[in-house]
Structure 1
């Protein structure tokens, strides 16, 4: 498999990455910060914010909005079509499918059991239906972020640093980006401790990195990975899920050490050429 780098992709470099980060933080921190600084005024005008509020979706979609803006600004509509073609990259080595579909749920289950919780999240009185509906609604939240983190940030960073360090950088930014939500009543983050969550963001960004590179920059597989992290069927295992994931990440990094600490095999194209689109 190989990529043919487009002229548009060559133009989209460090400057584009900087603009991506600025837009991402401006939208998310602007929206959430308004509710933190002026809770009564914002609630009176726009309603109390929660996980299904339009402004919460807007804040969550900020990385995707920033990614689309950057790709359009640097390459136009043709570049956006090339960028979105990465949604069709579905081939993934079998061990990584097993990791996403089996190992991640087991981490949440084990973490919950350690803290004395259930194997699966308790069903509401209405039964399984609302949980299934919530699971599909989650597709429109966290996974959409991947247009930005893995769609734009990861490939550009991997042009300059080894994939492990690209994951560390994105995980650090990703964790800091979430920080205001921990001061916002009415969302799940308010019930969590920030430090394990922050460490978890870094660990997860490292874990998804070899998957991202093995799938030649697939947005689809990155979104599936993210979806598993917020699947409502998995129990709340904070903070034990983080500590288990640290151990898992250490094993994954050691197993893939020949590629994680070099730029060999790293995907560096935001806008793939025709060879990449067929792969």
Structure 2
């Protein structure tokens, strides 16, 4: 057990990727084999593989005390109204702008005729927060991995590493149709490997830079990471599900530009002008 603990401490990124992939692909295998349907609870469990991995690896690396500290960061909420506003609503104009830019790529347009009534927004966000995005992934990417990578590298390099690992974790969604658009559609249209590489470079890494920026400027608040991830729920309300690739391509342009501006303004070392990056060094 000590050998495993030492390996996890020395190789957090490899440990995170391998175990999260095993748990994720392992749960997806019955779906891939056609044994269980795509809409079964098995898919939901696979979606939780990142957070489950984060909990397991935290226990291995730093025991119950480390796990307690990780969950304590879910209670960090006094971070300023500006950060709350960004985490909740920033993706809405980004995605809307992506839909407009999508028209330049493949002729998609900004069509809001399918947007549901306003009362559906909050229930969908809560569902994403409690059931899917937040609890499903953030205990892994920001709870376990990011602060340990930041103990060795500056915030920008750490974001690149986490973004690569996070992106590779999505590989199965490019290969098989799991009703997680537009990954499968991109793989079919442009090839799995080119789509995955482009997705990591222009989507996951810029997006991870924004997560790191929020995380380091909110005292390492996992709560804000949960909220930011869950705000993807708004995206589903605006998207025309019959035309997904165009908006995603447009969105990658916008988020890449924003990430570059964040690095330029806040600096690569901490992605913050007032705070040191959040680190965890396992003994």
Whole-angstrom distance in 2 between the partners of 1:221 and 1:161:
23
Whole-angstrom distance in 1 between the partners of 2:270 and 2:114:
38
Name 2:190's counterpart in structure 1: none
Name 1:168's counterpart in structure 2: 160
Uncovered stretches (5+) of structure 1, i.e. residues with no partner: 1-9, 272-279
What are the superposed Cα offsets for residues 110-141 of structure 1, whole Å, 9 maximum, x if unpaired?
111233433657246xx566665443322221
- Equivalent residue in structure 2 for 1:191, among 185, 191, 207: 185
Change (3 A) 1:261 1:213: closer
CA-atom RMSD in angstroms: 2.9
- Equivalent residue in structure 2 for 1:233, among 222, 232, 237: 237
Uncovered stretches (5+) of structure 2, i.e. residues with no partner: 1-5, 188-194
What are the superposed Cα offsets for residues 27-78 of structure 1, whole Å, 9 maximum, x if unpaired?
1122234533x23xx2xxx2x113xx31111111111111111222344434
2:77 aligned counterpart, secondary structure: coil
Name 2:53's counterpart in structure 1: 66
Matched, 1:211 2:252: no
1:185 aligned counterpart, secondary structure: coil
Name 1:249's counterpart in structure 2: 259
1:248 Cα deviation from its structure 2 partner = 0.8
- Equivalent residue in structure 2 for 1:118, among 110, 135, 138: 110
Whole-angstrom distance in 2 between the partners of 1:268 and 1:118:
41
| TM-score, scaled relative to structure 2 | 0.77
What are the superposed Cα offsets for residues 87-115 of structure 1, whole Å, 9 maximum, x if unpaired?
00113244433433343210101111233
Change (3 A) 1:29 1:255: same
After TM superposition, the structure 1 stretch with the greater mean CA deviation from structure 2, 242-251 or 65-74, is 65-74
Whole-angstrom distance in 2 between the partners of 1:121 and 1:13:
50
CA contact (8 A) 1:90 1:218 kept: yes
Change (3 A) 1:218 1:134: same
Whole-angstrom distance in 2 between the partners of 1:109 and 1:78:
43
2:237 aligned counterpart, secondary structure: coil
| TM-score, scaled relative to structure 1 | 0.78
Superposed, which structure 2 residues align to 1:1-279 within 5 Å?
13-15=9-11, 17-36=13-32, 38-39=33-34, 42=35, 46=36, 48-50=37-39, 53-114=40-101, 115=103, 116-118=108-110, 120=112, 122-123=114-115, 132-139=122-129, 140-144=131-135, 145-187=137-179, 188=181, 189-192=183-186, 194-195=195-196, 196-198=198-200, 199-231=202-234, 232-235=236-239, 237-257=247-267, 259-260=269-270, 265-269=276-280
Whole-angstrom distance in 2 between the partners of 1:117 and 1:135:
25
Whole-angstrom distance in 2 between the partners of 1:179 and 1:255:
32
Change (3 A) 1:223 1:121: farther
Which structure is richer in relative contact order (CA contacts within 8 A, separation 6 or more)? 1
1:12 Cα deviation from its structure 2 partner = 7.2
What are the superposed Cα offsets for residues 234-274 of structure 1, whole Å, 9 maximum, x if unpaired?
43521111111111111111111164479x71101389xxx
CA contact (8 A) 1:20 1:70 kept: yes
